[in-house]
A and B are shown apart, each in its own frame.
Chain A
């Protein structure tokens, strides 16, 4: 899921809010053999445009070529590269973990340590939500695994430039 340090970068792509634009972007990546590690998309503050946050693998293809090919899409308006070192990245994770009576307190302890929230409780499982840096989510996932993860969903990263660079 997460790429080796240094071989990924985040592209924040402003696109026209029209049907089919996401298909165009993902189609372009598939066609050119560019690798998408994660993708998050939602309307931006301007209703004419949406923002797609793409974490791309730059081990095989240069970010320059990826960016230039993306710009060829008529619906792509602006692309900002957010290198991990210069941006604030966050992601949200939800998982359902087996937690019968004896295991429950150990699981809850770990959730507290990571600052997560319990959003659903059942007789033999609980559902946890955690938001934070992608690396922390990876660590949490690994720690939950021995207890038995029943369901897992991650949103993909969103990122903004660090404020000192943005001004």
Chain B
């Protein structure tokens, strides 16, 4: 039996799980684990705030599909991880977090930097464990990675007391069978029920106004190819939710783009008017459905998801199928192999009519107007090198990024959907670049968001992770300002940030970045080109944008998706919905 310390066993276990990079920050309780890291092939990236480590692990997982790993100490470090854990939980991101903990005899006595990490993170993790037995470290690590990456992915936390790391252990690596047997309550269903699949195929073959409603689960299941086969076999148009952008290429004739609160008119209306929704890896989130009672009122629902609890949570499906999206969709395609499918050209041409009548729109700037944020997104998009990955914060800029970008490849869009975490962009972009170093990574951020996590640019400069950041600086908390303008009679409460405080260029340069300020439309293209050519350090561009711009279309919270508010200059003179 090989003898080693718990800390060595921990690091060795991470190596055995194929971990290539850990984002972290050392501290008292986790200190023993930081010694064996010096001899490990695992790359450790030292962050400047533990929240940054968490979001970096998420960004890494978003683009690679592999679990992101964050390692921090006890107490305040663990509590700093709560936001990223909750974010990963809401968006089903595979992540393993390792937190230090006070020594076992000290637990429960209010020790230095002690907190009830397992208690605090219980409701924001798929599972968590306090590792009390040093010999159990390899099993705990194997369990954590198994839980994080199978079934519905999610964050798993291991809380490891300091004396457990310091204790001597007999090394042993549990077999797959031992891991499965140690989790008697965890048996995810992967294979869809054959009868349900046949029933789904039957509904699809008889629908005249079907829509494929593709969610983030398509990306988690690596089911983009299967989805494409299904869409092309049936000719059914596809909407991709905020979490699924890129799961179906935006330039495909069947792609309708994003539905929901800030989706485009055709995508929203196609779902509302559908007689069948084929919901794949998605959860009928309130941002997509609007008022639930009036959502897709005339549609039957086929709902495929790996999490049985999602079926019937919001909307009772006619055909519920628990299983892995990739496998189930492939089975559905097989079941349709000899089916006679209805001609959907009339339905598709109706949808085209909506696309032509209500395309995404913004008014061009009048002379002297500040930059339009949508214009900046368009230039960024058109100048982006092949394979660029786009990360975003939360707010108006996020909506414009999702609306205006052209996603053609899965796992090239990194954003915070379920929790909507401001400050996600910069650290997530860093994690994404670490996961895909050969790709250009752009982060689109708001000025409000940027101020929350910008310090991680120091990490990026120091570790030579050359991300590019476009700040759509409108000097406001834009989305909140929009709501106050539309629903609070323009009573702007606590939303003004000021365009020049901080001086974003000076701040970015202080953090080791190349930085530019852009106010004039004619500078947008050349500065972006310059940014794309810098490859050895991060770049930050402070784009001064028009604060009066609002995100359209919009379905106000709680309203029905039948009542889409389009851009004011698009409002039809008579009836809103054209049948």
Interface residues of chain A, those whose CB is within 8 Å of chain B, are: 15-16, 20, 23-24, 27-28, 31, 48, 62, 64-65, 68-69, 71-77
The 9 closest A-B pairs by CB, nearest first: A68-B309, A77-B185, A74-B127, A76-B185, A77-B184, A74-B186, A68-B308, A31-B123, A69-B309
CA distance A24 to B126 in the complex (A): 11
Provide a sorted-by-A list of 23 A–B residue pairs whose CB atoms are within 8 angstroms.
A20-B130, A23-B119, A24-B122, A27-B123, A28-B123, A62-B312, A64-B312, A65-B309, A65-B312, A65-B313, A69-B309, A71-B185, A71-B309, A72-B309, A73-B185, A74-B126, A74-B147, A74-B183, A74-B185, A74-B186, A76-B185, A77-B184, A77-B185
Shortest beta-carbon distance from B194 to chain A in Å: 22
Q: Which of B118, B147, B185, B308 has the most CB of A within 10 A?
A: B185
Is B456 in the interface zone, CB < 8 Å from A? no
Name B347-389 residues within 8 Å CB distance of A.
Answer: none
Is B87 in the interface zone, CB < 8 Å from A? no
Is B58 in the interface zone, CB < 8 Å from A? no
Kindly supply a per-residue 1/0 record for chain B positions 303-330, scoring 1 wherever the CB is within 8 Å of any chain A CB and 0 otherwise.
0000111001100000000000000000
CA distance A28 to B130 in the complex (A): 19
CA distance A62 to B309 in the complex (A): 12
Q: Report how many A-B pairs have Cβ atoms within 8 Å.
A: 38
The verdict on A15 contacting B185 (CB below 8 Å), with A68-B309, A72-B309, A74-B147 known, is: yes
Q: Which residues of A contact B130 (CB under 8 A)?
A: 20
Q: Which residues of A contact B184 (CB under 8 A)?
A: 16, 48, 77
Chain B: CB-nearest residue to A62: B312
CA distance A77 to B181 in the complex (A): 12
Shortest beta-carbon distance from A47 to chain B in Å: 13
Shortest beta-carbon distance from A165 to chain B in Å: 24
CA distance A20 to B107 in the complex (A): 15
| Contact (Cβ within 8 A) B122 A27 | yes
The verdict on A16 contacting B185 (CB below 8 Å), with A31-B123, A74-B127 known, is: yes
Q: Which residues of A contact B147 (CB under 8 A)?
A: 74
CA distance A22 to B94 in the complex (A): 25
CA distance A31 to B123 in the complex (A): 8
CA distance A73 to B183 in the complex (A): 11
10 further interface pairs, Cβ-Cβ under 8 Å (given A48-B184, A74-B126): A16-B185, A20-B118, A20-B122, A27-B122, A65-B312, A68-B308, A69-B309, A74-B183, A76-B185, A77-B185
Chain B: CB-nearest residue to A65: B313
Q: Which of B147, B183, B186 has the most CB of A within 10 A?
A: B186
Shortest beta-carbon distance from A17 to chain B in Å: 11
Q: Which of B126, B130, B309, B312 has the most CB of A within 10 A?
A: B309
CA distance A16 to B122 in the complex (A): 16
Chain B: CB-nearest residue to A14: B185
| Contact (Cβ within 8 A) B312 A72 | no
CA distance A48 to B127 in the complex (A): 19
Q: Which residues of B contact A48 (CB under 8 A)?
A: 184
Chain A: CB-nearest residue to B143: A74
Q: Which residues of B contact A65 (CB under 8 A)?
A: 309, 312-313
Shortest beta-carbon distance from A19 to chain B in Å: 8
Q: Which residues of B contact A28 (CB under 8 A)?
A: 123
Chain B: CB-nearest residue to A31: B123
CA distance A15 to B183 in the complex (A): 11
| Contact (Cβ within 8 A) B307 A72 | yes
Shortest beta-carbon distance from B107 to chain A in Å: 11
Q: Which residues of A contact B309 (CB under 8 A)?
A: 65, 68-69, 71-72
| Contact (Cβ within 8 A) A23 B185 | no
Q: Which residues of A contact B186 (CB under 8 A)?
A: 74
